[in-house]
Structure 1
Amino acid sequence: MEIKQKTGLGRWVTGACLALGITVYAQGVAAQDNSGRMAKGPIVIDLLEGLEWMRCSVGQVWSGGACRGTVLKAPLEAADDVILRASRSSGDGWRLPTRKELTRLAEMNDAPPMINETHFPGTYRGSYWTSNRNRLLWGNHWVVNFNTGHAYARALPRQPLAFRLVRDR
């Protein structure tokens, strides 16, 4: 996916706490659940898909067993800067998930957010960017909404939405 950076992009991330800081590691590893995922400090390892997820949304920091801080919501053009900052603080390989990858995190709970809150505490109850464009409406992108648990292909790149990053294991 290619995202063009434009001037003024820093304004979306300057005020946000992007210490994606995988700085505080919990001791040990949580038990694996039936999804094939296990939590290890600020990371959730998906053993079946061979992925590592950031437990916290971009803008939050893993501390004391929880995601603290405010979720950054920014237009899609901020993705390159978000990924660069994540790489600097947490190592290389971070990227936007595909629609398929992010949709796998959605769970039908009794109430939002529609995600495993043990693995992903403090998840924003709204839409998260994916790396997929809508093939029929070229200007729109796919997002996954954790208020409903569904994916939608009608997000415009200028909309301020949340980010959750993933990398291959």
Structure 2
Amino acid sequence: MKRLITVLFSLLWVAEVTAQECLTNAVETTPDEVFSQVTDDTILHIPTGLIWQRCAVGQTWNGETETCTGDAEQLTWQQALVYARDYDAELLEGWRMPNVKELASLTERNCVRPSVNTSFFPATPQDSFWSSTPSLNDPERVWTVAFFNASYSIKEKQRAVYLRLVRTNLPD
């Protein structure tokens, strides 16, 4: 019985630790009003005019549960570049890897675990995402944005990191 209680407490503690936490009296940096749904699985960020995939690469949008399902895939930087190129080769819609400033525009700086608007980007992995912006000081590293706490860092190109594609909102 004592072991069962310990296991249940541990599960509750893990659930509590992984829930998004936000400052209560702060002004949101990515409120719902700055986003607009384009399709079920794409979102327009109105201030930048960029259209984002709602889910990380490897996940798919589930309209019934209104969340991203499946396991997000981690790729090396080279794999991420190839993925973006091949993904758009069939669609010809301009999908690409975002630069660091574009990627950072999605971060909700008043929240952690994850630091993103979860209404529009649910189930976002709480880790780093690739940008297309290389480090100026080290050709073997690239800028990433962590959706754990909205921080920026440079990582080795050989590391496995998450990816979310973006495209410019083109006129019809």
TM-score by length of 2: 0.73
SS at match of 2:48: coil
Q: In the aligned structure 2, how far is the partner of 1:132 from the partner of 1:96?
A: 9
One-letter code aligned to 2:163: F
Point out where structure 2 has 5 or more consecutive residues left out of the alignment: 1-30
Query: Residues 71-130 of structure 1: CA distance to partner in whole angstroms, max 9, x if unpaired?
Result: 010101112331134325655211110100111111134441000011101101100000
Q: In the aligned structure 2, how far is the partner of 1:90 from the partner of 1:63?
A: 21
Which aligned runs of 4 or more in structure 1 are off by greater than 3 angstroms? 88-91
**2:59 touches 2:72 (CA, 8 Å); kept in 1?**
yes
Query: Residues 44-85 of structure 1: CA distance to partner in whole angstroms, max 9, x if unpaired?
Result: 101221110000000011122211111010101112331134
Alignment: residue pair count: 136
Does residue 164 in structure 1 map to residue 164 in structure 2?
A: yes
Larger radius of gyration: 2
Counterpart residue number, 2:36: 38
Q: In the aligned structure 2, how far is the partner of 1:116 from the partner of 1:89?
A: 29
CA RMSD of aligned residues (A): 1.8
TM-score by length of 1: 0.74
Counterpart residue number, 2:147: 146
Counterpart residue number, 1:75: 76
Q: In the aligned structure 2, how far is the partner of 1:139 from the partner of 1:73?
A: 18
Q: In the aligned structure 2, how far is the partner of 1:37 from the partner of 1:100?
A: 17
Point out where structure 1 has 5 or more consecutive residues left out of the alignment: 1-31
Does residue 113 in structure 1 map to residue 114 in structure 2?
A: yes
Counterpart residue number, 1:54: 53
One-letter code aligned to 1:52: I
Matches within 5 A, 1:118-133: 118-133=119-134
Query: Residues 24-55 of structure 1: CA distance to partner in whole angstroms, max 9, x if unpaired?
Result: xxxxxxxx834x22123111101221110000
Q: In the aligned structure 1, how far is the partner of 2:70 from the partner of 2:92?
A: 21
SS at match of 2:32: coil
Structure 1 residues 70 and 88 mapped into 2: Cα distance closer, same or farther (>3 Å)?
farther
One-letter code aligned to 1:162: Y
**2:88 touches 2:96 (CA, 8 Å); kept in 1?**
no
**1:72 touches 1:162 (CA, 8 Å); kept in 2?**
yes
- Which structure dedicates a bigger proportion of its chain to helix? 2
